[in-house]
Structure formats: C-alpha cells, structure tokens
Chain A
Amino acid sequence: SAVISQKPSRDICQRGTSLTIQCQVDSQVTMMFWYRQQPGQSLTLIATANQGSEATYESGFVIDKFPISRPNLTFSTLTVSNMSPEDSSIYLCSAGDSSTGELFFGEGSRLTVL
C-alpha cells in the first residue's frame, strides 16, 4: 500500500493568484495522477504526472493553467494558475503501481477562490 500526503489540505485564495499543491508518497510508485472534484460532482482526471518529463493532460486541461512537476518517484506538484472562482474544487493526488492495478488517493486539497 501507499500513503499519500497532500499540502495544503485547504486554502482560500484570491482571484488571479496561483497556488501550488504538493503530493508526497511514502513509497516509490510508477504512476501519479491529479484529479479535480468539483462540489457535488465525481472526480475528473486532470493529468498524468510523468517523472522527468512533461505531464500528459486530459482533454480540457492545459499546461499553462495546471502546470505539473514530478522530479522523482515519490513527489509531485500541481499548480492552479491565475485562479478564478470556477477553480474552487477539491484537488486530489493519486498514486500506484501499474503491476498491481490499485491506486491510492490523498485526502485532497480543498481550494476556495474568492
């Protein structure tokens, strides 16, 4: 199993600012992903965080708005840039190993943009 820690757990941000969310996994994993969960909705995959290379973004998400880094096998960051109230969501980090097929999730980072 893997334990995933996210920081911050919640934040209130001003429109037009950017916030970086950190995700730390307690073991080396092959896969890391970032999801968004808007209020009352299901999870939407933002991107796959690739170690040492550019992230793979899903349709509707772009690097300029959600830059992602993954410098090693246990750590990744997601930045939400130039925030607007529509970006108010829970952002979740997920990690796992492709050999087991099981993904683990953090508790999420709840962002409120005013």
Chain B
Amino acid sequence: DAKTTQPNSMESNEEEPVHLPCNHSTISGTDYIHWYRQLPSQGPEYVIHGLTSNVNNRMASLAIAEDRKSSTLILHRATLRDAAVYYCILKVGRSGYALNFGKGTSLLVTP
C-alpha cells in the first residue's frame, strides 16, 4: 500500500495562511489524495480530496505536485477552530474504498 509522510506537528498564528505538506512518493495512478481533520474529542471530518489537479472548496485548497508524489493542504486564513490533527490519506483498504489513517499533523493555532 502507498504510504504518506507528514510532519508530526506545525504551528501557525491566527489569521495567517497555513501550508500542510504531505509526501506520498509511492502513490499509484489511481490513488486519490484525501485530507481529513479531527478536532479534539470528535470524529474526523472531510476537508478535501483530489487526483491530479489542484482543488478548492470553502474549507481549503489542495495543491498537488505535477508528479503527484507530494501535496499541500492550504488553509488560507487559520482560525483557532482550525486547531486539529490533519490527515493526508491515500484511499486503501481491502475493500478499495476505505481510508487508512496515518499519524497526521497536529496543527496548533495561536492567537
């Protein structure tokens, strides 16, 4: 299975942009790149996903490298509520649809 590598933790100031990196050098051509986040004491929530092209939604932007071996989740303006563990995931699992979570990046946002 293709693996992802993320920094254990990152820190950002409130209202500043945040760039969360993810390396996935063994990604296959059909693997989608998913980002989820888990706020304290809650289940994970979907952030964004993409295959090859950069993606934008109301929560964030996803920038995917041309060779697809890395990607970056961009929070344009961090708020205190964005403090969470962010997971970069390639869709795997025996059924082909489940998500296998790595350790993620713990994002601290300071006022």
Contacts and interface: CB of A to CB of B under 8 A. Distances in A.
Nearest to B102: A42
Contact of B98 (A45, A92, A104, A107): A45
B33 to A, nearest CB: 10
B94 interface: yes
A57 B95 CA distance: 9
Contact of A56 (B91, B94, B100): B94
B103 interface: yes
Interface residues on B, range: 20 to 34
Contacts of B100: 45
Given A44-B101, A48-B98, A105 B45 contact: yes
Given A42-B103, A101-B49, A92 B97 contact: no
Contacts of B49: 101-102
Interface residues of A, number: 24
Contacts of A57: 94
A19 interface: no
Contacts of A56: 94-95
A100 B101 CA distance: 19
Q: Which of B34, B85, B95, B100 is the most central at the interface, judged by chain A CB atoms within 10 Å of its CB?
A: B95
Contacts of A44: 101
Contacts of B95: 31, 48, 50, 56
A21 B79 CA distance: 34
A12 interface: no
Interface of A: 4, 31, 33, 35, 42-45, 48, 50, 56-58, 92, 94, 98, 101-108
Given A31-B95, A107-B42, 6 more contacts: A31-B98, A45-B100, A45-B101, A48-B97, A56-B94, A105-B43
11 contacts: A31-B95, A31-B97, A33-B93, A42-B103, A48-B95, A58-B93, A94-B99, A101-B91, A104-B45, A104-B46, A108-B43
